[in-house]
Amino acid sequence: MDRPFDINSVQGLTDREALERIRREGLNELPSAKRRSIFPIAFGVVREPMFILLISVGAIYLLLGDREEAVLLLGFVFIIMGITLYQERKTERALEALRDLSSPRASVIRGGVQKKIPGREVARGDFIVITEGDRVPADSRLAYSINLSVDESLLTGESAPVRKAVSPGALPVRRPGGENLPFVFSGTLVVQGFAVAEVLSTGPDTEIGKIGGSLEEIKPSQTPLQRETGRLVRTFALAGAVLSAAVAVAYGLTRGGWLAGLLAGLTLAMSILPEEFPVILTVFLAVGAWRISKANVLTRRVAAVEAIGASTVLCVDKTGTITLNRMTVREVYSKGVYFSPGPDGAGLPEDFHETVEFAILASHINPFDPMEKALRELGSLSLTRTEHLHEDWTLVQEYPLTESLLTVSRVWRSPDSHNFVIASKGAPEAVFDLCHLDGPEIRKLSGVIDSMAAEGLRVIGVARADYRDGSLPAGQHEFTFEFLGLIGLADPVRPGVKEAIKECRDAGIRVVMITGDYPATAGKIGSEIGLSTPRPGSVVTGPELDAMDDTRLKSRIKSIDIFARVVPEQKLRIVNALRSSGEIVTMTGDGVNDAPALKAAGIGVAMGGRGTDVAREASSMVLLDDDFSSIVKAVRTGRRIFDNIKKAMAYTLAVHIPIAGMSLIPVILNLPLVLLPVHIVFLELIIDPACSIVFESEPEEAGLMGRPPRDVGEPLFNRLTVFFSVFQGLVSLIVVFVIYITALQRGFGGPEARALSFTTLILANLGLIFTNRSWTRNIIENLRSRSVALWGVALGAISFLLLTLHVPILREVFRFGALHPADFLFPAVAAGVAVFWFEVFKIVYRKKFF
């Protein structure tokens, strides 16, 4: 039997005391994989194929005696390493921020106030509050518990939960395992009950720390996009290797310079290799997860970043997600009479006192549940200075809510009596069952419930019993209960939910509300938020769901927006029916029993404020503020991220075509080479930051949430994307080649023709960046949205281009000839032509194609 306990008497550590202990003893975290420092990242960079190609080219330059080119090339190598390190560190910092956010939460009492903190900030001496579904954050000794059972299989290997109980004396710390011990251990799972415990040890000093377990980290997992990109890179790499070998052999046979031929082959390999693709995905997904966290949605699995924007159905709880989860008692019914308490609770008639009294007795003394808080608040306002509040009574036992009986009963004993008083509250039909009401009485009360529910109220039943025998029975049904009344509680809708649901509808996303409330309550809330118009059959209940076979459910689920009186186990069936209909499901949940549905959904979203650790572990995302509007913001951000990935990939594919073409065509036509490795490196200095920084920071497209969800099975490079990317690249190649041939035909030497064509290529490259910022807005419209990264890249590229054309030593290294100011007109016009056609196309046909 659990001993009496007053949670208000617990002060715990102050924040300052806890911080001081953490400084001395360390954070409450286990040894985990070290965060990557600059040196491992740099080592990863030097193993990249592009880096190896650059070193190989530098070695060939040295063999050819071109020391200046070799030195400059190695200088470029370090610049590219710097850019890559910046990209990697940006990704790493985003992941570190997510690791910090994903630290398990713990409920502690600090300075007499209960608060949620990251589990890693729990200190020895803290008092923690644990309940069903929580993972214990640190090894602790129980100070108070009610029906506490803990799964310790993580430490003992035993699958059966063990009961915990407060010890009357100070027992020495025991190892995990065994019944009725007063100790709970870090990492174990509370499967039933409630407890307050004092932390004895943290971090490496816990039992799990001694075993050497390590915390789960957020890691950039392989997503479908990454797998698709990996295949593309391998295809390009294989094609590049074959073509490069062919170019090297052809050059050696036709021109006699084998080292120069090898140089030409390596130049082609560098121009073809799309090494930016993996960088784009890594940076966009990691930084995208960080951006989504700014909308109060934590991404636990990076794959969810690409998936959430494709959601077609959002399945959400009503309580706490659609509503504020801040309840007030709106109506009380007892003995055929209704009463609506005022804001101050004054004037509650005597006939209703017993109903409110026993509803409070069936609640926790210091409640955390909003419904129980509302009952306590009404009691403090209306029953103070009456005999209906019992601060001196002793709690003897609690019969918790179960799947088969949705009521909670608490057994009390008064100081001046040896008899037991039992208070019960819960689902009205379960209370009717406990009270053994007959059919006519149930029908009468059901009408009362329907009228309350039609007002959007959550309805609970209240009952009482007396017991005189010495030992308490095993179950609630063995008491003789008397029905007392019904209480209706209001939970206001969150601000902004109606607008967010409209936004979902405009975006082609269905919202399905799943609740344990009555159908009338759910229908009223659904109508209030614009989810549906109440009509016969528009709300399906849990029993009706059980009566349907899978085929019937699959055919009906397309038209059902509200499920009421649903238990958590039925959520999995709803999710599976939606998925079998081809929907991409985002599902919210908070309880232990929600975990299977969260795992089965395309994107499981756990509640961060009121959710259990088990639900969070089964989810892909965690809703930090439990607000439905935040999910919609995450969908919007996910769509924007995917759009920007697509733009960056399209630009990268397009820009490689003129580079590869101008590396290959002169060899085939036996013309002077245009591009050398040093030119490829210069181009990479533009391409790398453009594809990973400029496009990542691009704002969302107009009408982003006004179009239907994308097909999740659609490849990143669909036919339309490939066509426009390749066509842009071919047009750029044509104008660059025309400038090159025209220059040769007009008597320009090879260096001058190279300078003109390379200038055209740089300007065309910048044009591709500007035009691919949006496939719906033209360049003029794009310029209105400021982008510091874009202008940094553009000004940097033009400035360095001018240096290579006018500084003699750089001009010599780049093998350029001197150009006159008038000569720049031709590259500028040609680059403009290269993108002008696409700008015209966007204006004329964007509504049809984009």
Instruction: Using alpha carbons, select from 596, 591, 525 the residue that is nearest to residue 563.
Output: 525
Q: Is 463 helix (H, G, I), strand (E, B) or coil?
A: strand
Distance (Å, whole) CA 594 – CA 818: 71
**Whether the predicted pLDDT of 656 surpasses 70:** yes
Mean pLDDT of the chain: 82
Looking at residue 221, what is its pLDDT? 44
pLDDT tens digits for range 198-208: 999 998 888 87
Q: What is the mean pLDDT of residues 641-669?
A: 88
pLDDT digit string, tens, across residues 775-785: 888 888 877 77
What confidence tier does 216 reach under pLDDT thresholds 50, 70, 90? very low
Considering only CA atoms, give the Rg of the chain. Answer: 34
Q: Kindly report, residue by residue over 217-256, the tens digit of the pLDDT.
A: 434 445 566 667 777 777 777 777 787 788 878 777 777 7
Tokens (6 digits) for 281: 């995905």
CB atoms within 10 A of CB 535: 8
The predicted structure's pLDDT at residue 33 = 47
- In this prediction, residues 110-123 reach a mean pLDDT of 89
Check residue 763 and give its pLDDT. 95
Query: Is the confidence at residue 360, as pLDDT, over 80?
Result: yes
pLDDT digits (tens, 9 = 90+) for 692-709: 788 988 888 888 888 889
Q: What is the pLDDT of residue 371?
A: 87
DSSP code of residue 823: G
Supply the pLDDT for residue 295.
Answer: 81
Contact 129, 106 (CB under 8 A): no
Higher-scoring residue by pLDDT: 470, 442: 442
Q: Per-residue pLDDT averaged across 319-325, rounded? A: 82
Confidence check: pLDDT of 331 > 90: yes
pLDDT value of position 211: 60
For 345-373, what is the mean pLDDT?
85
pLDDT confidence bin for 281, thresholds 50/70/90:
confident
pLDDT of residue 218: 39
> DSSP 3-state assignment of 670?
coil
Q: What is the mean pLDDT of residues 362-373?
A: 82
pLDDT of amino acid 488: 94
pLDDT, greater one: 167 or 513 = 513
Who wins on pLDDT, 728 or 301? 728
State percent of the chain over pLDDT 90: 27
Mean pLDDT computed over 600-608: 83
Q: Which two tokens stand for residue 325?
A: 């989860």
pLDDT in tens, 370-392: 888 899 889 888 887 778 788 88
Predicted confidence band of residue 729 (pLDDT cuts 50, 70, 90):
very high
pLDDT band at 589 (very low <50, low <70, confident <90, very high): confident
pLDDT tens-place string over residues 517-554: 888 888 888 888 988 665 556 789 888 999 999 899 98
Spatial contact of 589 and 569, defined as CB atoms under 8 Å apart: no
Whole-angstrom distance, CA of residue 27 vs CA of residue 639: 37
652 vs 591 pLDDT, higher one: 652
How many CB atoms are located within 10 Å of the residue 541 CB?
17
pLDDT tens track for 117-164: 888 899 999 999 998 878 899 999 998 888 888 888 767 656 567 888
Mean pLDDT of 674-683: 84
By the 8 A CB rule, do 514 and 542 touch? no
The CB-based long-range contact list for 820-829 (8 Å cut-off, 24+ gap) reads 823/756, 824/759, 826/739, 826/742, 826/756, 826/760, 827/739, 827/756, 827/759, 827/760, 827/763, 828/763
Nearest to 772 by CA among 645, 647, 642, 643: 647
Instruction: Give the pair of three-digit tokens for residue 194.
Output: 């409630």
pLDDT single digits (tens) 705-722: 888 898 877 777 778 888
In tens, the pLDDT along 62-87 reads: 666 666 666 666 676 676 667 666 65
CA distance 426 to 312: 35
Confidence at residue 4, expressed as pLDDT on a 0 to 100 scale: 46
Cα dihedral across residues 577, 580, 585, 591: positive or negative:
positive
- What pLDDT shows up at residue 88? 63
Q: How many helices (H) and strands (E) does the chain have?
A: 29, 22
Arithmetic mean of pLDDT, 500-519: 90
Looking at residue 768, its amino acid is L
pLDDT at 789: 85
3-state helix, strand and coil shares in percent for the chain, rounded to the nearest 5? 55, 15, 30
Comparison of pLDDT for 364 and 501, the residue scoring more: 501
> Is the predicted pLDDT of residue 849 greater than 60, yes or no?
no
Query: What is the average pLDDT across 641-656?
Result: 89
pLDDT of residue 97: 59
How far is residue 536's CA from residue 830's CA, in Å, rounded to a whole number? 66
With tokens 């993972």, the residue in question is 135
User: Is the confidence at residue 410, as pLDDT, over 60?
Assistant: yes
Amino acid present at 739: I
Q: Is the pLDDT of residue 358 over 90?
A: yes
- Per-residue pLDDT of 170-185, as tens digits, reads 777 777 877 788 999 9
The pLDDT of residue 215 is 35
For the residues 439-448, what does the mean pLDDT come to?
Answer: 94
pLDDT at 464 over 90: yes
